[in-house]
């Protein structure tokens, strides 16, 4: 029964990660996303897996941990993609601003 309850907790908590990755993918910006938060959660999952391994409690629940890590990996991928997109947007804005200044100075 403890494994079932742990799995329920992991599934309930873990369902948020695919939804979060999708939302951030559609947003196309890293604004509002926190790599520190994702890192902390990732560390927590690794600690949970390590606890299972150290205790010798290798059961099917470990699969749920691993599935959650896969969902978190998707969040990492989307986060770094969005950081790149933000940088590209920022560079375009800076270039447009410089071009505008050059035009104003030429007049």
How many structural domains comprise the chain?
1
For 24-43, letters b (16+ CB in 10 Å) and e give beeeeebeebeeeebeebbe
pLDDT category, 103, cuts 50, 70, 90?
confident
Task: List the domain range (segments joined by +) for residue 78.
Answer: 2-106
- Of residues 78 and 32, more confidence is placed in 78
**CATH code, 37:** 1.20.1280
pLDDT at 97 over 80: yes
Assessment of whether the complete model's pTM goes beyond 0.95: no
Share of the chain above pLDDT 70, in %: 100
pLDDT digits (tens, 9 = 90+) for 67-83: 999 999 999 999 999 99
């Amino acid at each position: 029964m403890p494994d079932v309850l742990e799995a329920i907790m992991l599934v309930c908590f873990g369902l948020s990660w695919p939804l979060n990755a999708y939302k951030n993918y559609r947003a196309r910006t890293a604004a509002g996303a926190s790599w520190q938060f994702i890192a902390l959660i990732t560390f927590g999952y690794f600690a949970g897996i390590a606890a299972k391994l150290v205790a010798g409690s290798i059961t099917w629940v470990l699969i749920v941990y691993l599935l959650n890590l896969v969902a978190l990996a998707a969040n990492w991928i989307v986060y770094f993609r969005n950081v790149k997109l933000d940088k590209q947007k920022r560079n375009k804005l800076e270039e447009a601003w410089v071009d505008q200044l050059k035009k104003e100075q030429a007049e």
